[in-house]
Amino acid sequence: MDRINPERTPIIKVENLVKKFGSFVADDNLTFNVYPGEIFGFLGANGAGKTTAIRMICGLLEPTSGRLEVAGYDGYHEREKIKRNIGYMSQKFSLYEDLTIYENIRLFAGIYGISRKVRLEKTDEMLKKLQLEESRNKLVGGLPLGWKQKLAFSLAIFHHPKVVFLDEPSGGVDPLTRRTFWDLINEAAHQGITIFVTTHYMDEAEYCDRVAIMSEGKIVALDTPAALKAKYQADSMDGVFLKIARNKE
């Protein structure tokens, strides 16, 4: 917990953020702060509004109303400045499957203006860590899902953003692969990158410093996993989630 300093100004400020699709309210008055260095989790069932929220914060989706600030920049008028300072990994794998691992790295490093020298150094370092040195010139489309996700994450933080947004980053892989994936996330957090992650796996919530639980577009609880467990007298996040769901009924 030493990497988090709650005295510091929040890196993400969200106030009364609303997203409506026609008459359907996907996100209803979200208000929360995320502090630098935190691993902040958005927990909720499918359709609770997690992805909509993350896409608004990243500047992919226009909010209906509310205030939004990321890395000190306004979420309406300074989106391009925000984009310099964030990384994003979408729910659906979205690197180019018909490009090799290195060609993907070269493209995105190029877009962020990383020099050739730095790119080559970081690529070697990254592929070594992922044990993908052999696959450097293989097409991304042929990699197993677990490797694709690790690659997508590593590319999302390649330019060392202030915050990285992960939308259901470990969906569809086995628990062991998920575990090693979270090792990567922890390592990034220790390098000072703030992590904003959505998930519907309750065990993943345990890895977060603070968790916001979403239901039907609203934040129904927000605290550290330990505090939530104490409050709802449960021994796991799974228990917390079930109790909250029952209280609603």
Partner 1 sequence: MRTILYLLQKEFIQVFRNKGMLPIIFIMPLVQMLILVFAATMELKMIDITVVDLDLSETSTRLTAKLESSSFFHLTRAQLSPSETDKILLKGKTDVVITFPQGFESDLKRNDQASVQILIDAINGSAAELSNAYLQTVIGSYNQKVRAEMMGVPKFTPPEQVQVIPSYWYNPELNFKFYMAPGVLVILVTIIGLFLSSLNLVREKEMGTIEQLNVTPIKKYHFIIGKMMPFLIIALLDLTFGLIVAKVAFGLPFRGNILTLYVFTSLYLFLVLSIGLFVSAISDTQQQVLFVSFFFLIIFIIMSGLFTPVESMPVWAQNLDMINPIYYLIRIIRNVVLKGSGLLDMTRELIYLSIYGLLMFSLAVWRYRKTV
> Which residues would be at the binding site for partner 1 (CB under 8 A)?
58-62, 79-81, 83-84, 86-88, 90, 92, 94-96, 98-99, 103, 106-108, 110-113
Residue closer to partner 1 by CB (options 78, 223) is 78
Residue closer to partner 1 by CB (options 116, 231) is 116
Residue closer to partner 1 by CB (options 113, 175) is 113
Q: How far is the CB of 76 from partner 1 (least distance, A)?
A: 10
> Contact 199/41 with Cβ under 8 angstroms?
yes
CA–CA dist 29, 34 (Å, integer): 16
Edge to edge, the sheet with strand 12-21 lists: 24-34, 12-21, 65-70, 73-74
> Contact 170/201 with Cβ under 8 angstroms?
yes
Q: How far is the CB of 34 from partner 1 (least distance, A)?
A: 17
Distance from chain centroid for Cα 71: 15
Residue closer to partner 1 by CB (options 2, 80) is 80
Q: How far is the CB of 80 from partner 1 (least distance, A)?
A: 5
The strand pairing partners of 122, in sequence order, are none
Q: How far is the CB of 88 from partner 1 (least distance, A)?
A: 4
E strands along the chain, which residues?
12-21, 24-34, 39-44, 65-70, 73-74, 86-89, 163-167, 194-199, 210-215, 218-223
Residue closer to partner 1 by CB (options 79, 229) is 79
